[in-house]
Amino acid sequence: MYYLVVAAIMLFMINIEATIFSIIFPLMTSTNSFAVPNLAIIVLTFVCLIRDDKKIVILAFVIGFFKDVVFGYYIGLYAFSYAFIAYWANITFRIFIDRHVVVFIVSVILAMVSFELLVWGINTLFGIIDVSFMQAFDRYFWGSLLLGSSFAAILYGPIIAMLERRGVSFYE
């Protein structure tokens, strides 16, 4: 049941970022920029923070595969990227026992940087896009990183407080 709820939340966030946020945020930035916070990565890192479970990597792969089928240009890009980010976040949160907000925000930023670099690198490798690294950083990376880390920082406190009221302990 837990994994179905997480999958539903991630699919909802993917739909929000692909529909509403992709309309609102580009209108608020300059014409060359397309900055949209990647809410699915934020949810994925929250889940990896809460549960130390290897099945989350499989769940991330399935959600990424679904995103590939619905929104992707080809199959495998988001499936591989989400599974890699989930694996990396699980390892990161196992290393740091104290799951402080700073560790979480740094992990979200590194997860988003890894995700954006993976997507840019794979798309460049296969010739889907012809954008240099600096152009991609200027148009996509910086805005997504700033928006995503601020969303994560805003949501961290209320979500952790709600989970602690329900008895979830983060300190071992």
Higher pLDDT, 84 or 165: 84
Q: How many CA atoms lie within 13 A of 97 on its CB side?
A: 2
pLDDT of residue 23: 77
Rounded (10°) CA dihedral 88, 67, 147, 47: -40
24-79: per-residue pLDDT in tens?
766 555 555 667 788 888 888 888 877 777 888 999 999 999 988 988 788 888 99
pLDDT of residue 28: 58
Show the CA angle centred on residue 63, arms to residues 60 and 68, nearest 5°: 120
Rg (CA), the chain: 16
pLDDT of residue 172: 47
Token look-up 């700073």 returns: 102
Token look-up 């920082």 returns: 153
101-157: per-residue pLDDT in tens?
777 788 888 888 888 889 889 889 988 888 888 888 877 788 788 888 888 888 888
What's the Cα-to-Cα distance from 65 to each of 14, 104, 117, rounded to whole Å? Answer: 12, 26, 18
pLDDT of residue 65: 93
Report all structural domains of the chain as residue ranges with CATH numbers, in order of start: 2-20+29-165 (1.10.1760)
Taking the model in full, what pTM does it have?
A: 0.83
